[in-house]
Structure 1
Amino acid sequence: MTGGVQRAGRAASAVAVFGLLWVGLSLLLGRRILPFPWTVVRRFVELFPVPLLAHMAASLARVVAALAVSFAVALPLGIAMGRVKALDWLLSPASYLLFPVPKIALLPVVLLVFGLGNVAKVFLVMLVLFFQILTSVRDAAKGVDRRYLLSFRSLGGSRIQSIRFVILPALLPSLFTALRVGSGTALAVLFFAETFFTRFGLGYFIMDSWTRVAYLDMYVGIMGLSLLGLGIFAALDLAERLLCGWKSIQG
């Protein structure tokens, strides 16, 4: 209960500080360029649920799909690379070569291969998350102390069981960190991808508002994108508290 009150207090303080900074910038730049926060919030309420909810739902669906696919592929592959030296030796060079490449630069290639629909947008976001998860999981799995595995095997645990009860718990903190970092980058890539060949998504909504000189609506879209990211981060924090309860005991 105390932890919940503290988190709520920190969140309220952060909102207050952010709001004050926003008001200061609005006064400095002018309300036409940067409207006051309450003006944007009022317009957000006017546009919600129609038409804003459809754009937020489209963006959220693409991010969730990319998260699911990248997680399902990168997690087992990262564990295998971290624990099997031959596989790591074979695949790591390709990972090191592709990871630093800005994924947005691959947009023309992705559009050529997957067409102009949702699959291309989801795949592009998935690329961002995939390499972030793969690298973090691989390093965490490789760093699991051998003594823990030997102790587990001495108690009768099998190699498969050691993945479930030793390796996975050890790499979960690194996995959630990778998901947080990757999600922020993925939303940035999604924003760019949604400006091409679509009529639904926050990226489309923001750029459409900008081209119509509807700056207030543009800031509403930016707020929607921020709330989307906040929701994803909150969900990841909740999942980490549920799956990594032992961290609070250590702390």
Structure 2
Amino acid sequence: MRRVLVLAGAAAAVVAGWWVLALLLRSPVLPAPPAVLMRVVELGPALLLRHTAASLMRVLLALAVATAVSLPLGLVMGRSRRVDRLLAPLAYLLYPVPKIALLPIVFLLVGIGDAARVTIVVLVLSFQILVAVRDAARSIPAAYLTSFTSLGGTRAQSLRFVLLPAIVPQLLTAMRIGTGTGLAVLFFAETFFANFGLGMFIVESWMRVSYTDMLAGIVAMGVLGLALFSALDALEYLLCPWKRCGIRETPNVLP
């Protein structure tokens, strides 16, 4: 309940600031919140929801693919010095490259459909998750695993009860950061050859000089981001029970 009240208060503050700024500027470029709300009603929720759903599905698919690839690879790099020496230089070389710069190449290789948009977001998320998981896995004290195996734990059990609990907080942090960046990249990617998506809707509204439609799309993008971050917070609440007790460090979780 407290979190809901905080979110409601933050949303009210944003709307109030937007409203005051619209009254001060008196510009058609920044319509007041009631005008945008009325336009949303005129457009019909179905149209805006269709664009939002298209963007949401692309982000969720990219998040799933990036996690499925980068989580195991990051764990292997973090626990194997040989693999880390082989792959870490490559990861550090490619990580700083702006992934949006690869969009033309992705379109040429993958095509202009949804696969290209998902691919570019996967590239953004993968390196964030890979580096975070690798560093988290490397930071696990060897004594944890030694103690676990001395008690009869197998490798599979050490993955379940030691490694994964230790890297989950860093994994979720990387997913949060990557999701924010991924949404920004997706917005840009959706402005090319897309039939649906919030990026396409916002830019198309801007080109039609329909600023109320444009603001409605921007608000929808903000709500989408809020929903994704809230979902990751809920996932952290479920997977990191020690944080509910105010314990900052990851405990040594044993069976």
d(CA) in 2 for partners of 1:196 and 1:160? 45
Q: How many residues were matched structurally?
A: 247
CA RMSD of aligned residues (A): 1.2
**Off by >6 Å, runs of 4+ in structure 1:** none
User: In the alignment, what sits opposite 2:71?
Assistant: 75
Matched, 1:56 2:49: no
User: In the alignment, what sits opposite 1:222?
Assistant: 218
SS in 2 for 1:65: helix
SS in 2 for 1:51: helix
Post-superposition shift, 1:12? 2.0
1:31-72 deviation per Cα after TM superposition (whole angstroms, max 9, x unaligned): 412111232223223334331121111111111110110010
Q: Which amino acid aligns with 1:158?
A: T
d(CA) in 2 for partners of 1:62 and 1:138? 26
Matched, 1:47 2:60: no
d(CA) in 2 for partners of 1:12 and 1:116? 39
Of 143, 148, 154, 1:152 maps to: 148
SS in 1 for 2:229: helix
Post-superposition shift, 1:10? 1.2
Unaligned runs of 5+ in 1: none
User: In the alignment, what sits opposite 1:172?
Assistant: 168
Normalised to the residue count of structure 1, the TM-score between the two structures is 0.95
d(CA) in 1 for partners of 2:220 and 2:12? 19
In terms of mean alpha carbon deviation, does 238-247 or 72-81 score higher? 238-247
- 1:1-251 to 2 correspondences below 5 Å: 5-251=1-247
d(CA) in 2 for partners of 1:131 and 1:197? 26
Q: Which amino acid aligns with 2:93?
A: L
d(CA) in 1 for partners of 2:223 and 2:246? 31
d(CA) in 2 for partners of 1:42 and 1:238? 32
SS in 2 for 1:199: coil
Normalised to the residue count of structure 2, the TM-score between the two structures is 0.93
d(CA) in 2 for partners of 1:152 and 1:67? 32
d(CA) in 1 for partners of 2:65 and 2:226? 21
d(CA) in 1 for partners of 2:44 and 2:240? 36
Q: Percent identity?
A: 56
**Distance change in 2, residues 1:158/1:180 (3 Å):** same
Unaligned runs of 5+ in 2: 248-255
d(CA) in 1 for partners of 2:58 and 2:222? 16
d(CA) in 1 for partners of 2:29 and 2:51? 24
